């Protein structure tokens, strides 16, 4: 019985010593990591331009890139192009009626809307 | 306008043409005036004596509805043959591009004349068939050309 109790005490003591040793060993790493993270945040904040009343605000989420805007063609120009296209297509179709071949049906025009 | 060369009057004698034209009403359309709107009931045929008429259809351009010209007609040509062909509704809008003079022939008057002069009715009907047939063939070819481009875009 005495031997059994001695073994139990020794086991408890061993576990306690191991736990203390482990805690001491890992606390340094956590502190070091936390210190590194803090220094990184400080660097990020320091790199931000100083703003009135907003010195310590978190960096804003990067704005999405501006949408690519296609330069809009004036509607008058577009309508003139459509009208020209229709005239050219009409003429091409008429020439097909005079000479109905596959080549004349698919002949190319100078319309800017098809190039 | 040389009446014997006019689309609607081909094959008619000078006397027959004169008699037919006398049934119509001469109207003047200033530049930009509408002869008939898209979708309206078609009661008349318009024979252009002088000027030019644009036949247009609406299309969405940059989010706005715009009338786009699909055909032009000038002196001696006929517009509004829907007045003679069922279901008698205009399938295009007609606008005067220039100062335009036209002879407007009402369907009821024409049909009544054709009953009395079947040979005139036959020739005019044949002329209208020629105009409509040509329109069909041209637009068929135009449609096929566009289809070819769609195929080239989708399956290069």
- Each domain of chain A, given as residue ranges in start order, spans 1-52, 75-114
**CB contact, 8 Å: B41 with chain A?**
no
- What pLDDT does A64 receive? 60
**CB contact, 8 Å: A86 with chain B?**
yes
- Which of B61, B69, B137 comes nearest A86 by C-beta? B69
Strands ordered across the beta sheet of B78-79: B25-29, B100-106, B44-50, B78-79
Q: Which of B32, B135, B5 is nearest to B81 (CA)?
A: B135
DSSP per-residue codes, chain A: -HHHHHHHHHHHHHHHHHHHHHHHHHHHHHHHHHHHHHHHHHHHHHHSPP-TT-TTPPPPPPPPPPPPPPPPPPHHHHHHHHHHHHHHHHHHHHHHHHS--HHHHT-----GGG-
Into how many domains does chain B fold?
1
Distance CA B111, CA A115 (A): 49
**Chain B partners of A82 at a C-beta cutoff of 8 Å?**
59, 61, 68
Q: What is the CATH number of the domain that holds B36?
A: 2.60.120.10
Asked whether this complex has an ipTM greater than 0.85, the answer is no
Answering whether pTM is above 0.80, one says: no
Q: Domain limits at B84?
A: 3-154
Over residues A51-89, the pLDDT tens digits come to 545 455 555 566 665 555 555 788 888 888 998 999 999
Over residues B29-43, the pLDDT tens digits come to 999 999 999 999 999
């Amino acid at each position: 019985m005495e031997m059994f109790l001695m073994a139990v005490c020794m086991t408890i003591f061993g576990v306690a010593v191991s736990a203390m040793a482990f805690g001491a060993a890992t606390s340094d790493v956590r502190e070091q990591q936390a210190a590194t993270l803090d220094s990184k945040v400080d660097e990020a904040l320091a790199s931000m331009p100083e703003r009135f009343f907003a010195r310590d605000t978190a960096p804003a989420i990067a704005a999405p890139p501006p949408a690519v805007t296609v330069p809009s063609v004036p509607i008058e120009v577009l309508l003139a192009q459509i009208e020209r296209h229709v005239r050219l297509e009409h003429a091409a179709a008429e020439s097909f009626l005079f000479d109905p071949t596959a080549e004349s049906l698919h002949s190319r025009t100078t319309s800017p809307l098809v190039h | 306008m040389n009446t014997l060369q006019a689309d609607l009057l081909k094959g008619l004698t000078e006397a027959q043409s004169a008699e037919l034209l006398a049934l119509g009403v001469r109207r003047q359309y200033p530049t930009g005036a509408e002869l008939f709107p898209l979708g309206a009931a078609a009661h008349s045929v318009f024979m252009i004596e002088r000027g030019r008429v644009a036949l247009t259809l609406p299309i969405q351009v940059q989010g706005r509805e715009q009338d786009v010209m699909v055909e032009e007609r000038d002196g001696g040509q006929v517009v509004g043959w829907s007045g003679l062909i069922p279901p008698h509704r205009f399938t295009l809008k007609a606008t005067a591009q220039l100062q335009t003079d036209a002879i407007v022939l009402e369907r009821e008057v024409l049909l009544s004349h054709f009953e009395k002069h079947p040979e005139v009715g036959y020739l005019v009907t044949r002329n209208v068939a020629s105009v409509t047939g040509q329109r069909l063939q041209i637009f068929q070819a135009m449609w096929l050309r566009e289809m070819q481009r769609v195929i080239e875009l989708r399956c290069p």
